[in-house]
Amino acid sequence: MKKVKIINGLIITPYRIIKNGTLLINGNKIESISEVDIEAQDYHVIDAKGNYVSPGFIDIHIHGGGGHDFMDATEEAYLKIAEIHATYGTTAMAPTTLTCSKADLLKAIELYKSADIKNTSGAQFIGLHLEGPYFALSQSGAQDTRYIRNPDVEEYKEVIAYGDVIKRWSVAPELPGAIEMGKYLKSQGIIAAVAHTDAIYEEVLEAVENGYTLATHLYSAMSGVTRRDTYRYAGVIESAFLIDAMDVEIIADGIHLPPPLLKLVCKIKGPDRIALITDAMRGAGMPEGDSILGNKDTGMKVTIENGVAIMADRSSFAGSVATTDRLVRTMVQMADIPLVEAVRMMSRTPATIMGIENTKGTLTVGKDADVLIFDENINIKTTIINGKIVYSSADFT
């Protein structure tokens, strides 16, 4: 569609909800937003029927979905993941790796580049997120311990030089060489994030002073209050709360973080510092049962049950099977967060963290036409990406 006119919607803007509003899309940009009908010729009209019209959801930490994982190392995996998540409201995503060899990291960069060109019917790619392999073994979680290692300056510089598609890198900041890596990531315009770590407050503070700005999946695979030689120390969780400059991301599926913790994070950090993430693995959008985390041939066996993926030995979660609509629904219905704030944490805040807030994240004239229509239960009715209708539910025409 070149021109689209959405009428009779509850339009969620950065500042308010416009009742019975009209939104015009011309090409791939938002052309106009109004409280009244706008005369427009030759536009494809979509009647929102009183449903919400929202900015597209932006997922800055995602591994897979629809039976595919980015570590499968195929173009098909990249494209299918983008397509399946678009049906749940994701209009932009940061494909995320797992701990792996240098060769696999380089392969991920190659595939990102080639798949990005062909991705015309799924959530847009907004940069590659490398999760590991520089982690604390004690906080490996579902990461494959065979590949966990300390930062290697020659290795990470080679990986970064291989392509300009890396936009964030998650690292344990207490490891030898991690502070120097943070400085280098910042110099290259790459977000340095704290993850899978046993750091204490003093180490996190030093990391923030040297480029680290984000806490990866807060509460998951990171230290809280700990004892060392009888003395208590604040961990990464407390550090993220104390350091105002730190952004956080949370897996808001209601399982990784139950409602009381979701409420606590929101109370302390506020919606402008919180990005909702799925951290979804291949089981997202799939039936429950046995699955694989990571590469389909060499990854770890996991089980999906009760809306979450669990390690085979049941020692920890193995990523989520959430979709972005579920995250917003959980925040509203289980954590009692106002819809406008929940949507902000799924759109505007992640866009700001990723540095793309000038083009994405809000329904604003001149920005990319990434638009959703969903009902009061956050069931996605229509997904529009860059002005193109990529999904419309069977019960909504």
Give the per-residue pLDDT at 367: 98
Asked if the model's pLDDT at residue 88 lies above 70, the reply is: yes
**Against a cut of 0.75, is the pTM above it?**
yes
Average pLDDT over residues 229-249: 96
Q: Is 68 annotated as a binding residue?
A: no
226 CB-contact burial (10 Å; exposed 0-12 / middle 13-18 / buried 19+) = middle
Q: Please calculate the CA angle 376-377-378 and round it to the nearest 5 degrees.
A: 90
Give the per-residue pLDDT at 235: 98
Contact present, 123 and 390 (Cβ < 8 Å): no
Give the per-residue pLDDT at 312: 83
Average pLDDT over residues 195-220: 98
Mean pLDDT, the chain, whole residue set: 96
Asked if the model's pLDDT at residue 35 lies above 90, the reply is: yes
pLDDT digit string, tens, across residues 99-122 = 999 999 999 999 999 999 999 999
Give the per-residue pLDDT at 315: 80
Average pLDDT over residues 310-338: 93
Give the per-residue pLDDT at 397: 66
Q: Is 131 annotated as a binding residue?
A: yes
How far apart CA 42 and CA 17 sit, in angstroms, is 27
Contact present, 288 and 302 (Cβ < 8 Å): no
CA distance to 252, 269, 373, per residue, from 345 (Å)? 10, 11, 17
Asked if the model's pLDDT at residue 163 lies above 80, the reply is: yes
Give the per-residue pLDDT at 14: 86
Average pLDDT over residues 67-84: 97
Rounded CA Rg of the chain: 20
Domains of the chain: 3-54+362-392 (2.30.40.10), 57-354 (3.20.20.140)
Asked if the model's pLDDT at residue 40 lies above 80, the reply is: yes
Give the per-residue pLDDT at 122: 98
Catalytic residues, by residue number, are 279
Average pLDDT over residues 201-220: 98
pLDDT bin (cut points 50, 70, 90) of residue 138 is: very high
**DSSP for 330-371?**
HHHHTS---HHHHHHHTTHHHHHHHT-TTTSSS--TTSB--E
Q: Is 196 annotated as a binding residue?
A: yes
**Residue 290 is inside which H or E element, if any?**
strand 289-293
pLDDT digit string, tens, across residues 261-317 = 999 999 999 999 999 999 999 999 999 999 999 999 989 899 999 999 998 888 888
Give the per-residue pLDDT at 242: 98
Asked if the model's pLDDT at residue 1 lies above 70, the reply is: no
